[in-house]
Amino acid sequence: MNDQNRSQKLKELLPMHPPQKYKPIGVCIYCGNTTNLSDEHIIPLGLGGRMELPKASCSVCSEKTSFFEMICLRTMYGPLRQLYGLPSRRKKKLPKKLPLKVKYKSTDDWTEVLVDQVDYPFLLTFPYFSMPNLITGKQTLYRKGAATNKLWIRGASAYENFFDHLQRLTLELQVHSIMPEAKAQVQEFCQLLAKIGHSFAVAELGYGNFKPLLLGLIVDKELSNCANFIGSLDIDEKASRNIHELSIYEDHQRNYIIVRMRFLAILGTPTYHVVVGQKN
C-alpha cells in the first residue's frame, strides 16, 4: 500500500490510542496554582491521544491550552474529530456546514458552496521545520517566531477512499471540480507541540524535577524564540507501525531534556523534536 492509500481510510488505520493514566500531580504544571485543577490530556483526545495526567492544569491555564488546541483540531485535523467522536461531544459548538471551493464549469472562477461537515473533504497538515537551534547550535535568521514554508499534506476522509469521496461529492454537488484546502495554524501548532512536550516530560520525570523552558510559549504565546526550542526533521519519513510516538531523551552535553514526538506516525508524518527543559 502506498502512502496515498494509507492516508485514505482513516477509520481502519487510526484506532484510538489505548488509555494510560499517570499519577495525579496536584499542582498546575503551567503556573503552579493548586486550586481548581483538572485532568490534562497529553496528546489531545481529538488526535486520538488518551494519556492523561490527572489534576495537572488550573482553570485559567486549561482555558489557554484548550484555545490553541481547538484551533489546531478544527483547522488541521477536521476528519479526526469524526473518528474520535468529538462532534457528538461538542455538537453545539461545531459549525454544521463548511465552505468548499468548487467550479461549476471548467471556465468558471472558483466559488464557494456550503457542505455538511461530515462530507467535507479535508487535507491533514503537518508543518515541517528545521531542527531546534538549541540542538543544532545554529542561529537561524530567516525563521523568526513560528513560521514555515513547507508542509506535509495528505488527503483525508474518515470513512471512504479520499478520491472516491471527491468523485461522489462532485456528482452530488453537480460541479466540475472541487478544491480541498489545507490550512496550517503554525503558531498554535507550535504551542500545542510545546504543551505536549512539557506535559509529557512532567508525566515521565515528575513535577519540579527539571527546569521548564516552554511555559512562556505555552501560556503567554511568547513565540519569538520558537525556533530555538521547536523543530522537526526536514525529510520524508517512512510510515511507522505506531499511531503516535512520544519519547524523551537528553542532550548530555548541554543538559537539555528533549521530547521526540510524531502524531499519526502510521501515515508517515514528520517527527518533531521539542527542547522542553534543562536538568536541575
Instruction: Give residues in contact with Zn ion (CB under 5 A).
Output: 28, 30-31, 33, 58, 61
Q: Where are the alpha helices (DSSP H) in 123-235?
A: 133-136, 162-173, 186-205, 215-219, 226-229
Comparison of 52 and 178: residue with beta carbon closer to Zn ion: 52
Which residue type is seen at 6? R
Other Cβ atoms less than 10 A from the Cβ of 122: the count is 27
Minimum distance, C-beta of residue 61 to Zn ion, in the bound complex (Å): 3
Comparison of 198 and 262: residue with beta carbon closer to Zn ion: 198
Comparison of 4 and 66: residue with beta carbon closer to Zn ion: 66
Instruction: For 66-84, give the secondary structure using H, E and C.
Output: HHHHHHHHHHHCHHHHHHC
User: Comparing C-alpha atoms, which of 231, 228, 263 is closest to residue 72?
Assistant: 263
Minimum distance, C-beta of residue 181 to Zn ion, in the bound complex (Å): 35
Minimum distance, C-beta of residue 62 to Zn ion, in the bound complex (Å): 7
Comparison of 61 and 98: residue with beta carbon closer to Zn ion: 61
E strand intervals along 91-244: 97-103, 111-116, 122-127, 151-156, 177-179, 210-212, 230-232
Backbone angles phi, psi at 4, to 5 degrees: -60, -50
Comparison of 28 and 243: residue with beta carbon closer to Zn ion: 28
Minimum distance, C-beta of residue 210 to Zn ion, in the bound complex (Å): 18
Minimum distance, C-beta of residue 31 to Zn ion, in the bound complex (Å): 3
Taken in order 121, 70, 91, 28, is the CA torsion positive or negative?
Answer: positive
Cβ-count burial of 42 within 10 angstroms (0-12 exposed, 13-18 middle, 19+ buried)? buried
Minimum distance, C-beta of residue 12 to Zn ion, in the bound complex (Å): 39
Comparison of 163 and 207: residue with beta carbon closer to Zn ion: 207
